[in-house]
Amino acid sequence: MRKLIDIVQTGHEPLTLPPAARVQDACKEMSDRHVDTVLVTDELGSLLGIFTKGDAVNRVLAGGKSAAELTLGEVMTGDPITMSADKTAIEALRPMWDGGFRHVPVTKGGKVIGCVSRADFQGDERETHEHERGLWEHMR
C-alpha cells in the first residue's frame, strides 16, 4: 500500500495562500494551476484551513456572496483534519469517507507538504476501502 508521501511527491507544489487573500484571487490561482484546493497558511507556513472548489460554490456563489470581497479566512474550513506523510492511502481514505470530504492536507514534521484528494487513490486502494466498508456494514 502506498504511503501519502509517495502520492504528494509525484504531484505538484500545493497552492498556499494567506487567510487575507480574496476568494476571487484564490479561484483564479486554482484555475491557472489546475488544482481543486488552496491550503490556507500563516506567514510561518502553518496550516490554518483549507478552501476547495466546492467551498467556492457552496459557501460563496450559492450564498450570493461576493468573491471579490470575501477573504479565504471568512469561508475556509478551519483546522482541517490532516494526515502525516508516513500514513498509508487507506488510512487517509477512511476519515475522508467517514467525514464526507474529498481532500486531506498532508504534513511532515508539522509542516504542510501537499494535499491528497479521493481522485489520487488507485483502484486497488479504493477496492480495499470498499471491501472494508462492506465488512463493517455486514457486521452491524
Predicted confidence at residue 67, as pLDDT, reads 95
Q: Residue 8: which of 103, 99, 101 has the closest Cα?
A: 103
Q: Would you state the cell numbers that stand for residue 16, as one nine-digit string?
A: 498556499
Residue 130 sits in a domain whose CATH number is: 3.10.580.10
Domain count, the chain: 1
The grid coordinates of residue 47 equal 496550516
Q: What is the mean pLDDT of the chain?
A: 86
pLDDT digits (tens, 9 = 90+) for 3-58: 889 888 766 789 999 999 999 999 999 999 999 999 999 998 889 999 999 999 99
Give pLDDT, residue 124.
62
Residues of the chain with pLDDT > 90: what percent? 54
What is the structure's pLDDT at 137? 63
Phi, psi of 87 (to 5 degrees): -75, 160
Compute the average pLDDT of residues 83-92: 89
- Which residue range(s) make up the domain with 83? 4-139
pLDDT at 135: 53
Global pTM reads 0.82
Distance CA 57, CA 35 (A): 15
Cα dihedral 127→128→132→137 (10° resolution): 0
What is the DSSP code string of 30-92?
A: HHHHT-SEEEEE-TT--EEEEEEHHHIIIIIITTT--TTT-BHHHHSEES---EETTSBHHHH
